[in-house]
Amino acid sequence: MRATVALRCPAGHSFDIARHGYVSLLTGARPTSGDDAPMAQARRRFLQAGSYAPLRAAITDLAARTSRPPTTVVEAGCGTGYYLAGVLDALPAARGLGLDSSARALRAAAKAHPRAAAATWDAFRAPFPVASASADLVLDVFAPRNPAEFHRILHPHGRLIVTRPNGGHLAQLRQRVTRMVGIDPAKEQRLHRALDPYFEAVNLERIDYTARLTPQEAVDLVLMTPSARHLTRGDLDHDRAGPSLPAEVTVSVLATAYEPR
């Protein structure tokens, strides 16, 4: 049986499936915000170590807590596919699509789950490569948001789950690595203003716990975030910063389930 090597749309456009398993849909100027190779590697190592497993479990529980079991799940800014895979494990009848602008991260996302596909896409571009009203569940975990497109692709009875850091998230790391990107205190107000025209909040979960870290996990946790773009190699040198990084951090996250208006 011949393997599929490209996708074609009714208009005749063709998009290659990379040898790593994801499909490349982006054309024109490439986005600059996606994970580069070291960031994607750090993300994969850190998430596989399990420190965010309670967070993934909370997101999965929120996703499964619906009267209409989702069968089509789309994650915007899916990274390596860690959260999408967790949700699909809990929804045996569902299939998933992970979208991300980082080809490096999608190499892992394409293999994260047997019922998940992965494609390059910039969350700020519209329209998404997803049919209107075709998604039962849209996930956005620490990722850029496009409320209008989320609303368009969601089924009228579908749900959007948005996960973002709370004020004390990773506070111990931010105290030690002063050039880490901070958390905007007006973030919640901006989120509400952006989503309110399209969605109504129906469930808010606050996830708080303490995660113990090895020195490598602490370094990876910094390097997998946008803060990595503001640091030099010396800031996180294993011989200098590694031992001085905290052995535990506070994980403080808000996850909200929304229904379309």
Checking if the pLDDT of 94 tops 70, the result is yes
User: Is the pLDDT higher at 222 or at 240?
Assistant: 222
- Measured CA to CA, the distance from residue 47 to residue 220 in angstroms comes to 9
Lowest mean pLDDT: which of 13-22, 57-66, 96-105, 222-231? 13-22
> Residues 41-50: what's their mean pLDDT?
97
Residue 182 is predicted with a pLDDT of 86
DSSP notation for 34-64? S--HHHHHHHHHHHHHTTTHHHHHHHHHHHH
Average pLDDT over residues 68-92: 96
What percent of the chain shows pLDDT beyond 90?
74
Class of domain 12-260: alpha beta
- Rounded-to-10 torsion of CA 57, 59, 65, 67: -140
Mean pLDDT, the chain, integer = 90
User: What mean pLDDT comes out for the span 15-25?
Assistant: 85
Written as six digits, the tokens of 167 are 């004020």
Nearest to 50 by CA among 205, 186, 166, 220: 220
Residue 238: pLDDT above 60?
A: no
On the question of pLDDT at 232 being above 70, the answer is no
The pTM of this model reads 0.92
pLDDT at residue 138, as a whole number: 98
